[in-house]
Structure 1
Amino acid sequence: MRRLLLAGLIALATLPAASFAAPATPSAAGAPLDLATIMASPDWIGHAVESPYWSVDGKSLYYTLKRDGDSVRDLYQVSATGGAATKLDPAAMAQADGPAVYDRSHTHAAFILHGDVFLVDLASGRRVQVTRTPQPESAPQFSADGRTLQFRDGNDWYGYDLASGVTSPAAILKFADDPQAKKPDALERQQLELFSTLREMKADRDAHRAQQQALEAADASRAPQPFWLGDKVKAVDTELSPDGRWMLVITEPAHHDDGKAPGVIHYVTDSGYTELQKARDYVGRDDPAPQSLLLLDLAAHKVWPLATDTLPGIKDDPLKAIRDRTIATLEKAGHADEAKALKAPAVRPVTIANQGSGGGIVWSEDGSQAAVQLRAIDNKDRWIASVDFANHALVAQDRLHDNAWINWSFNDFGWLKDGRTLWYLSEASGWSRLYVKPLDGKASALTDNTRYEMSQPALSPDGKWFYLLANKTAPHSYDVYRVPASGGELARVTQYEGVDDFTLSPEGNQLAVLHSAPYLLSQLAVQNAGGGTPRELTDTMKSAYTARAWIQPQFVEVPSSHGAGTVYAKYYGPANETDSPDSRPAVLFVHGAGYLQDVSKQETYYIREQMFQNLLVQQGYVVLDLDYRGSAGYGRDWRTAIYRNMGHPELEDLLDGKAWLVKHHGVDPKRVGIYGGSYGGFMTEMALLRAPGEFAAGAALRPPSDWVTYNHEYTSNILNDPQLDPEAYKTSSPIEYAQNLQDPLLIEHGLIDDNVLASDSIRLYQRFVELHKKDFWISLYPLERHDFKHADDWYDEYRRIDELFSTYVKQRPAQ
Structure 2
Amino acid sequence: MKYFLKSILLLFLLHSASVQAQKLSKLTVEKIMRDPKMWIGTSPSNVSWSADSKQIYFDWNPDKNLSDSLYSYNLSEKKTGKVSATDRKQIPSSEGIYNRARTLRIYAKNGDIFVTDCKDFSTKQLTKTVERESNPSFSGDEKKIVFEKNNNLFSVDLESGTLAQHTDFKTGSKKSDPKLSDEEKFLKTDQLAMFQVLKERKEKKDAGKKIDEAEKADSPKEIYIGEKRASNVKLSPDGRFVTYRLSQPDKAAKSTIVPNYVTESGFTEDLPARTKVGAPATSHEFWVYDVKKDTARKVSMKLIPGINDKPDYLKDYPKQDSAWKKKEREVMVAAPIWSEDGASAIVVVTAQDNKDRWIMALNADSLTLRLLDRQRDEAWIGGPGIGGFSGGQLGWLDNNTFYFQSEATGYSHLYTVDIKTGKKTQLTNGNFEIQDVQLSNDKKTFYLITNEVHPGEKHFYSMSVKGGARTRITQLTGAYEVKVSPDETKLAVRYSNSTNPWELFVMENKPAAKAEQITKSTSEEFFSYKWREAKVVTIKATDGKDIYARVYEPKKSNGKAVIFVHGAGYLQNAHKWWSQYFREYMFHNLLTDLGYTVLDMDYRASAGYGRDWRTGIYRFMGGKDLTDNTDGAKWLVKKYGINPQKIGIYGGSYGGFITLMGLFTTPDVFKAGAALRPVTDWAAYNHGYTANILNEPQTDSLAYRKSSPIYHAEGLKNHLLICHGMVDVNVHYQDVVRLSQRLIELGKNNWELASYPMEDHGFVEPSSWTDEYKRILKLFEEKM
TM-score by shorter chain over 0.5: yes
Q: Is the 8 A contact 2:72 2:80 kept in 1?
A: yes
My pick for the range that moved more, 200-209 or 499-508, is 200-209
CA distance in 2, matches of 1:508, 1:200: 72
Q: What does residue 451 of structure 1 align with?
A: 431
Distance 1:756 1:487, change over 3 A: same
Once residues 232 and 64 of structure 1 are traced to their aligned partners in structure 2, the CA distance between those partners, rounded to angstroms, is 41
Corresponding letter in the other structure for 1:131 = T
Q: Which amino acid aligns with 1:558?
A: I
Distance in 1, matches of 2:661 and 2:693, equals 17
Alpha-carbon contact 1:459-1:465 (below 8 Å) kept: yes
Is the deviation greater in 526-535 or in 674-683? 526-535
Equivalent of residue 597 in structure 2, options 576, 600, 622: 622
Identity %: 36
**1:74 and 2:69 are equivalent in the alignment:** yes
Question: Which deviates the most, 144-153 or 743-752?
Answer: 144-153
Moved more, 548-557 or 318-327: 318-327
Matches within 5 A, 1:162-181: 162-179=158-175
Greater shift in the superposed pair: 460-469 or 143-152: 143-152
Aligned to 2:635: 660
Are 2:145 and 1:149 equivalent residues in the alignment?
A: yes
Match of 2:539? 558
Aligned to 1:92: 87
Provide the secondary structure at the position in 1 that maps to 2:525: helix
CA 1:258–1:486: 2 relative to 1, 3 Å: farther
**Is residue 737 from structure 1 mapped to residue 712 from structure 2 by the alignment?**
yes
Pair 1:488-2:468 in alignment: yes
Range that drifts further, 634-643 or 28-37: 28-37
Is the contact between residue 500 and residue 578 of structure 2 (CA under 8 Å) also seen in structure 1?
yes
Match of 1:593 among 568, 575, 586: 568
Residues 189 and 682 of structure 1, relative CA distance in 2, 3 Å threshold: farther
**Compared CA separation, residues 651 and 525, structure 1 to 2 (3 A):** same
The counterpart of 1:521, out of the listed 476, 501, 506, is 501
- 1:701-780 map, 5 Å: 701-780=676-755
> Displacement, 1:134?
2.7
Check whether the contact 1:413–1:422 (CA below 8 A) recurs between aligned residues. no
Q: Contact between 1:788 and 1:794, CA under 8 Å: does it hold in 2?
A: yes
Contact 2:244 2:335 in 1 (8 A): no
Task: Indicate the residue corresponding to 2:310 in structure 1.
Answer: 317
Residue 470 of structure 1 deviates from its aligned partner by 0.8
- For 2:139 and 2:100, locate their aligned partners in 1 and report how far apart those are by CA, in whole Å: 9
Distance 1:27 1:560 in 2: 45
User: Do the aligned partners of 1:239 and 1:249 also contact (CA within 8 Å) in 2?
Assistant: yes
Equivalent position of 2:459 in the other structure = 479
Report if aligned partners of 1:360, 1:374 keep a CA contact under 8 Å in 2: no
TM-score, length-scaled by structure 2: 0.91
Alpha-carbon distance between aligned partners in 2 of 1:620 and 1:561, rounded to the nearest angstrom: 28
Q: 1:568 aligns with which of 525, 530, 548?
A: 548
RMSD: 2.5
The one-character-per-residue Cα deviations of 1:49-74 (angstroms, maximum 9, x if unpaired) are: 22211111121121112586666332
2:420 to 440, 464, 475: 440
Structure 1 segment 405-424 matched on structure 2, within 5 A: 405-407=380-382, 409-411=384-386, 412-424=392-404
Q: Which residue of 2 aligns with 1:281?
A: 275
Q: Look up the match of 2:125.
A: 129
Mapped partners of 1:540, 1:414: distance in 2: 35
Structure 2 residue aligned with 1:536, among 517, 538, 559? 517
Contact 2:24 2:525 in 1 (8 A): no
5 Å-filtered alignment, 1:177-192, equals 177-179=173-175, 184=179, 186=181, 192=188
Counterparts of 1:391 and 1:756, CA distance in 2: 46
CA contact (8 A) 1:82 1:536 kept: no
Mapping of residues 147-546 of structure 1, within 5 Å: 147-179=143-175, 184=179, 186=181, 192-196=188-192, 207-217=207-217, 224-253=219-248, 256-286=250-280, 288-319=281-312, 321-322=314-315, 324-325=317-318, 327=320, 344=325, 346-352=327-333, 359-407=334-382, 409-411=384-386, 412-533=392-513, 534-546=515-527
The runs of 5 or more residues in structure 1 that have no matched partner are: 1-25, 329-338, 353-358, 810-815
1:53 aligns with 2:34: no
Higher RCO, Cα 8 Å, sep 6+: 1
Over 3 Å counting, the alpha-carbon distance change for 1:699 and 1:284 in structure 2 is same
Deviation at 1:80, TM superposition (A): 3.8
Equivalence for 1:19? none
Deviation at 1:205, TM superposition (A): 5.4
CA distance in 2, matches of 1:674, 1:792: 23
Cα 1:285/1:415, change in 2 over 3 Å: closer
- Give the match's secondary structure for 2:645: strand
In 2 relative to 1, CA 179–277 (structure 1 residues): closer, same or farther, beyond 3 Å?
same
- Secondary structure of the structure 2 residue equivalent to 1:179: coil
Distance in 2 (CA, whole Å) between partners of 1:633 and 1:415 is 23
Contact 1:290 1:377 in 2 (8 A): no
Deviation by residue 1:83-124 (Cα, 9 ceiling, x = unmatched): 222111112112222213221122222223333222222223
Distance 2:719 2:445 in 1: 56
- How many Å separate the matches in 1 of 2:563 and 2:163? 60
